[in-house]
């Protein structure tokens, strides 16, 4: 219709132009493999990104081609984040924590044409290289020496002019892709559009999310190969926040050093990282000066309430829980407190901050069980479904219809949740992790959270184990805080005070470590396998019940 607003395409060059014209001097700090720090600015980083875009064009990369990265978080990786999509190609971040066979499968499924590899990751790439059909391999290194048959990143871009145009692209152009880690089956590709990334970046800046601005300095601990570091490399540039990247050094001391020295205001990562940081802070109270740090965003798996409390009460640090998935770009919900909750007592507030929270603007949620859409009553469980402009509508190159997409346009997350009257979502489990005992669901996440609130427990995971009478019964594995044997009966009493009797695990087993996925989540499939005969022979058990 005549007289409507401009039809400006929402594409990443718009973010690049903004950062160049308004935030050119803002800093980007990266820790190199040798632990020294590299400092640059948006102006310089985007200048080099433009040169990289030209170099890729010269190598024959065409619009729509996939260009992969196998790299830690650092400024060169950031250059690839802008160069590849802004020249019309697709940035495909490979997960360096996967097995070489999986990396190979994923790179071939995506038909990656060019691969950019960190030199420190060369031993990993070598195990994939001969089986992947990439035409060129570009190696990123500080010493200029690269393996035979590969291109050296610095030499490659130095040959190019710095006049890349940063022209808009049609907003539905594919910009980036990320494969799910495959903990729930074969890896599947989520393909993000320019439009979805721009809207997601804007969403991340909102107050109920990160409340980003150019006063912030952001350290994404979440890797750039995991859902685009939760979109932070784009959101920061849009709002002018400085960026700090930890490179390969994710140990608590290295991270705490960066948080302190670079005066970081916002950081983000999975609970595993923060549990390690918490231990380091507890071991050296007052050692780090972190008064500028205003938000630690925790997502990827449930942030235990005890951890949220410990950071706040012992170290004055604020945790914001967020929920999301590869398929949702990932921002879905945040546990941002409403004004009504801010009036409530501290215990109530902590309980709400340990929920996954309410959907951010533009994201809608509902939950469904066998009876249909469940009431927002805080107790009825159902599978969470989401919808929004940064939620995938299908997987990349998969045959046929996928039952994760409903006929009326919602995405089925596989997470089992309750939603309360105010719209706060609580994850009870992933559907495959639920414990079904005597036909009733038991939330392993709730039991884990309570166990991790016990002073003797460092980490806890709860899994379903086949049981002759009840079909399945919960079993807990626990890593004790002190490394000392713990009192199983006391832990059961602790749980009995908090849950119905039939929820309490029949056995609580001590372990040294809990196996983890590539993203640092508990690998429950391995635990289920390990303990499958704990309540009697698995064969007997499946015949019972």
Contacts with ligand ADP: how many residues (CB under 6 A)?
22
What Å distances lie between residue 522 and 92, 164, 323, 406, 460, CA to CA?
25, 44, 16, 29, 9
Name all contacts of 34-41 with Cβ < 8 Å and 24+ positions apart.
34/142, 35/249, 35/254, 38/74, 38/75, 40/75
* Other CB atoms within 10 A of residue 72 CB: 25
| Tokens matching residue 125 | 């790439």
Catalytic annotation on 180?
Answer: yes
Answer yes or no whether residue 413 interacts with ligand ADP by CB under 6 A: yes
H/E run at residue 50: helix 42-58
Q: What are phi and psi of 516, to 5 degrees?
A: -130, 155
Q: Within positions 89 to 148, which residues make up the interface with ligand ADP, using CB under 6 A? A: none
We find the least distance from the C-beta atom of residue 137 to ligand ADP, in angstroms, to be 27
**Subset of 32-51 contacting ligand ADP (CB under 6 A):** none
Structure tokens at 527: 């635990």
Give the residue, chosen from 243, 326, 334, 428, that forms a contact with ligand ADP under the rule CB under 6 A. Answer: 326
Considering only residues 513 to 532 of the shown chain, the ones binding ligand ADP according to CB under 6 A are: 519, 521
Burial track 87-124 (b if 16+ CB lie within 10 A, e otherwise)? bbbbbbbbbbbbeeebbbbbbebbebbbbbbbbbbbeb
Taking CB under 6 A as the rule, does residue 323 contact ligand ADP? yes
Site string for ligand ADP, 168-207 (x = CB under 6 A): ------------xx-xx-----------------------
- Site string (426-465) toward ligand ADP, x via CB under 6 A: -x--x-----------------------------------
CB of 214 to ligand ADP, least distance (A): 27
Task: Let me know how long the chain is.
Answer: 545
Q: Report the sign of the C-alpha dihedral through residues 18, 21, 24, 25, in that order.
A: negative
Among candidate residues 69, 104, 141, 180, the one labeled active-site is 180
Which of 11, 40, 51, 301 forms a contact with ligand ADP (CB under 6 A)? 301
Q: Percentage helix, strand, coil, to 5, in the chain?
A: 30, 25, 40
Which of these is catalytic: 122, 383, 441, 488? Answer: 441
- The gap between the terminal CA atoms of the chain, to the nearest Å, is 64
Stretch of 150-158, 285-293, 296-304, 486-494 lying at the interface with ligand ADP (CB under 6 A): 296-304
Q: State how far the Cα of 21 lies from the Cα of 36, in Å rounded to an integer.
A: 29
Q: Which CB sits closer to ligand ADP, 413 or 443?
A: 413
Please identify which of the residues 327, 385, 448, 472 carries the catalytic annotation. 327
Annotated catalytic, 441?
A: yes
Nearer to ligand ADP, 69 or 321 (CB): 321
For ligand ADP, the closer of residues 157 and 337 by Cβ is 337
* Residue 62 tokens, joined: 């065409």
CB of 523 to ligand ADP, least distance (A): 10
Site string for ligand ADP, 332-371 (x = CB under 6 A): ------------------------x---------------
Least CB distance from residue 415 to ligand ADP, whole Å? 5
State the catalytic residue, choosing from 436, 488, 492, 542.
Answer: 436
Q: How far is CA 179 from the centre of its chain?
A: 12
Continuous segment of H or E residues that includes residue 56: helix 42-58
Contact with ligand ADP (CB under 6 A) among 299, 304, 449, 466: 299
Distance CA 63, CA 56 (A): 11
Cα distance between residue 542 and residue 519, in whole Å: 31
| Residue 269 sits in the site that holds ligand ADP (CB under 6 A) | no
* Number of continuous H segments (helices) and E segments (strands) in the chain: 18, 26
d(Cα 356, Cα 419) in Å, to the nearest integer? 10
Catalytic residues: 180, 327, 436, 441
Residues binding ligand ADP (CB under 6 A): 180-181, 183-184, 299-302, 321-326, 356, 413-415, 427, 430, 519, 521
């Amino acid at each position: 219709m005549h007289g409507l607003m401009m039809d400006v395409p929402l594409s990443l060059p718009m973010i690049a132009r903004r950062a160049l014209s308004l935030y050119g001097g803002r800093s980007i700090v990266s820790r190199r493999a040798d632990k020294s720090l590299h400092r640059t600015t948006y102006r310089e980083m985007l200048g080099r990104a433009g040169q990289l875009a030209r170099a890729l064009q010269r190598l024959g990369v065409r619009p729509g081609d996939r260009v992969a990265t196998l790299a830690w978080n650092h400024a060169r990786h950031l250059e690839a984040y802008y160069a590849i999509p802004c020249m019309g190609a697709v940035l495909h971040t490979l997960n360096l924590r996967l097995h070489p066979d999986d990396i190979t499968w994923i790179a071939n499924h995506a038909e990656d044409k060019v691969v950019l590899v960190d030199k420190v990751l060369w031993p990993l790439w070598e195990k994939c290289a001969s089986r992947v059909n990439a035409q060129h391999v570009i190696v990123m290194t500080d010493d200029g020496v690269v393996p035979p048959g590969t291109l050296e990143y610095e030499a490659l871009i130095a040959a190019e002019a710095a006049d890349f145009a940063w022209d808009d692209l049609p907003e539905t152009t594919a910009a980036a892709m990320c494969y799910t880690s495959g903990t729930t089956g074969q890896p599947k590709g989520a393909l993000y559009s320019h439009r979805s990334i721009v809207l997601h970046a804007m969403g991340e800046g909102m107050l109920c999310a990160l409340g980003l601005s150019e006063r912030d300095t952001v350290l994404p601990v979440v890797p750039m190969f995991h859902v685009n570091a939760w979109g932070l490399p784009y959101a920061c540039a849009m709002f002018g926040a400085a960026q700090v990247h930890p490179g390969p050094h994710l140990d608590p001391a290295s991270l705490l050093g960066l948080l302190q020295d670079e005066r970081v205001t916002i950081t983000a990562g999975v609970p595993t990282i923060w549990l390690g940081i918490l231990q380091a802070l507890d071991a050296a109270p007052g050692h780090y000066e972190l008064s500028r740090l205003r938000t630690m965003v925790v997502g990827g798996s449930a942030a235990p309430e005890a951890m949220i409390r410990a950071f706040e009460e012992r170290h004055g640090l604020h945790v914001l829980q967020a929920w999301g998935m590869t398929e949702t770009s990932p921002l879905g919900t945040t546990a941002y407190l409403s004004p009504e909750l801010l009036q409530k007592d501290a215990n109530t507030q902590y309980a709400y901050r340990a929920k996954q929270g309410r959907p951010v603007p533009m994201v809608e949620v509902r939950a469904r069980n066998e009876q249909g859409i469940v009431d927002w009553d805080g107790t009825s469980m159902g599978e969470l479904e989401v919808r929004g402009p940064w939620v995938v509508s299908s997987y990349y190159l998969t045959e046929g219809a996928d039952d994760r997409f409903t006929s009326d346009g919602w995405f089925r997350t596989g997470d089992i949740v309750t939603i309360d009257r105010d719209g706060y979502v609580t994850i009870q489990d992933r559907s495959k992790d639920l414990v079904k005992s005597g036909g009733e669901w038991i939330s392993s996440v709730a039991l884990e959270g309570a166990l991790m609130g016990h002073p003797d427990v460092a980490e806890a995971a709860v899994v379903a184990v086949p049981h002759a009478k009840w079909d399945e019964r919960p079993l807990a594995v626990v890593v004790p805080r002190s490394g000392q044997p713990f009192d199983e009966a006391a832990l059961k009493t602790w749980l009995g005070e908090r849950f119905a009797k039939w929820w309490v695990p029949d056995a609580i087993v001590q372990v040294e470590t809990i196996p983890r996925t590539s993203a640092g989540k508990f690998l429950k499939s391995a635990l289920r396998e390990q303990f499958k005969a704990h309540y009697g022979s698995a064969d007997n058990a499946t015949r019972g019940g």
